[in-house]
């Protein structure tokens, strides 16, 4: 298991759930200094990344980019897969395709997140599902040959009204029918929407490709009331050995938040990894 941190460029939206807003090379260096294994890039557009420069910083620090997330595409530019306007849907697909091609450069996944969209007032949920599936499949047509996974993240009802819990995420994945489309549980959203961490992780186990963590208040783990020892126990039981990435608020300040998440999570990951190694 490896620990990641969500970061972004200096001009990221105030609403973006990232800790470091910085030149990406510096964000990599700051994360490495705290013991992280990688950084998730929260982007508005693939063009924000100077790929050769970032690769150089990754080589120098030994870090990886496990995932590229797209929440700002929805939040800033209002591009998403369920939009009634086909031109907007196509623009959303093209934005994600750009991120897929960038992800292929780093061996990363792409989190489609809120870009999947919402159910519009006056429209049936089935309409949203079909629009979303059409766009997801168009993205998968590009992602599959490149070996890039597209991950579906259930998001709580206070942010979107479409695909709020892991069961709904799994249903969308099954209907999509593409091997590269996988599930990304986020324990912050699960704490609001899912009846049980264990039930949801066990039901989704064959499809889980990536995990987000934040405490109950969206602060760094250890500063809320979630039982992370229980969560890691469930991950161990289902044999999950992928990335766990902190997507948290930069409070009380970015350095303190990033340091707390690493200080709290790294011992759990080390303990988990020892047990997994012994089990093998």
| Average pLDDT value for residue range 83-89 | 97
3-state secondary structure of 245: strand
Determine whether 55 is exposed, middle or buried from the number of CB atoms within 10 Å of its CB (0-12, 13-18, 19+).
Answer: middle
Of 40, 149, 153, 193, which is the active-site residue?
153
SS3 for 196-233 is CHHHHHHHHHHHECCEEECCCCCCCCCCCCCCHHHHHH
* Distances 276 to 240, 245, 272, 273 between C-alpha atoms, Å: 10, 19, 6, 5
Of 40, 149, 193, 247, which is the active-site residue?
247
**Tally of CB atoms within 10 A around 84:** 12
Confidence of residue 118 (pLDDT cuts 50, 70, 90): very high
Looking at residue 280, what is its pLDDT?
A: 65
CA distance 191 to 186: 9
Looking at residue 278, what is its pLDDT?
A: 76
CB 16 within 8 A of CB 75: yes
Looking at residue 276, what is its pLDDT?
A: 75
| Average pLDDT value for residue range 160-188 | 98
| Average pLDDT value for residue range 52-79 | 96
Asked if the model's pLDDT at residue 126 lies above 90, the reply is yes
Half-sphere CA count of 61, side-chain side, radius 13 A: 25
Handedness of CA 230, 233, 237, 239 (dihedral sign): positive
CA distance 165 to 162: 9
Percent of the residues in the chain that have a pLDDT greater than 70, as a whole number:
100
CA distance 77 to 58: 29
- 210: closest CA among 140, 108, 133? 108
Determine whether 80 is exposed, middle or buried from the number of CB atoms within 10 Å of its CB (0-12, 13-18, 19+).
Answer: buried
**Tally of CB atoms within 10 A around 197:** 20
Which two three-digit tokens encode residue 155?
A: 């998001």
Looking at residue 137, what is its pLDDT?
A: 98
- pLDDT one-digit tens code per residue, 140-166: 999 999 999 999 999 999 999 999 999
Looking at residue 274, what is its pLDDT?
A: 84
User: Active site includes 134?
Assistant: no
- Kindly report the pTM of this predicted structure: 0.95
User: Active site includes 40?
Assistant: no
CA distance 250 to 256: 8
| Average pLDDT value for residue range 26-55 | 97
Looking at residue 81, what is its pLDDT?
A: 98
| Average pLDDT value for residue range 4-9 | 98
Assigned fold of 2-279:
TIM Barrel (3.20.20)
Asked if the model's pLDDT at residue 279 lies above 80, the reply is no
User: In the beta sheet, which residues pair with residue 213?
Assistant: 246
Determine whether 15 is exposed, middle or buried from the number of CB atoms within 10 Å of its CB (0-12, 13-18, 19+).
Answer: exposed
Which two three-digit tokens encode residue 247?
A: 């997507």
Asked if the model's pLDDT at residue 264 lies above 70, the reply is yes
Looking at residue 89, what is its pLDDT?
A: 97
- pLDDT one-digit tens code per residue, 195-213: 999 999 999 999 999 999 9
Asked if the model's pLDDT at residue 105 lies above 70, the reply is yes
Which two three-digit tokens encode residue 227?
A: 């039982």
Looking at residue 109, what is its pLDDT?
A: 98
CA distance 240 to 228: 15
Domain edges within the chain: 2-279
CB 119 within 8 A of CB 131: no
Which two three-digit tokens encode residue 71?
A: 């929440």
- 13: closest CA among 88, 71, 67? 71
- 89: closest CA among 265, 97, 154? 97
Task: Kindly report the average pLDDT of the chain as a whole number.
Answer: 96
């Amino acid at each position: 298991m490896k620990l990641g941190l969500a970061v972004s460029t200096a001009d990221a939206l105030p609403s973006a759930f990232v800790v470091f807003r910085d030149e990406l090379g510096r964000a990599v260096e700051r994360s490495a200094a705290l013991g992280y294994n990688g950084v998730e890039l929260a982007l508005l557009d693939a063009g924000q990344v100077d790929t050769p420069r970032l690769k150089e910083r990754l080589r120098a620090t030994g870090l990886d980019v496990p995932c590229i997330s797209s929440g700002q595409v929805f939040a800033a530019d209002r591009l998403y897969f369920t939009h009634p306007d086909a031109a907007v849907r196509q623009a959303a697909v093209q934005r994600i395709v750009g991120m897929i091609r960038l992800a292929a450069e780093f061996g990363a996944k792409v989190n489609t997140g809120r870009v999947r969209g919402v159910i519009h007032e006056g429209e049936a949920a089935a309409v949203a599902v079909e629009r979303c599936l059409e766009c997801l499949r168009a993205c998968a047509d590009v992602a599959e040959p490149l070996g890039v996974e597209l991950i579906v993240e259930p998001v709580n009802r206070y942010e979107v009204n479409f695909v709020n819990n892991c069961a709904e995420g799994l249903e969308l994945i099954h209907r999509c029918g593409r091997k590269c489309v996988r599930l990304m549980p986020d324990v912050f959203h699960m704490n609001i929407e899912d009846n049980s961490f264990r039930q949801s992780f066990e039901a989704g186990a064959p499809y889980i490709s990536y995990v987000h963590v934040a405490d109950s208040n969206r602060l760094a783990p250890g500063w809320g009331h979630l039982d992370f020892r229980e969560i890691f126990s469930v991950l161990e039981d289902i044999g999950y050995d992928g990335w766990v990435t902190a997507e948290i608020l930069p409070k009380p300040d970015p350095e303190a938040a990033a340091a707390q998440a690493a200080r709290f999570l790294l011992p759990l990951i080390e303990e988990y990894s020892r047990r997994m190694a012994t089990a093998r």
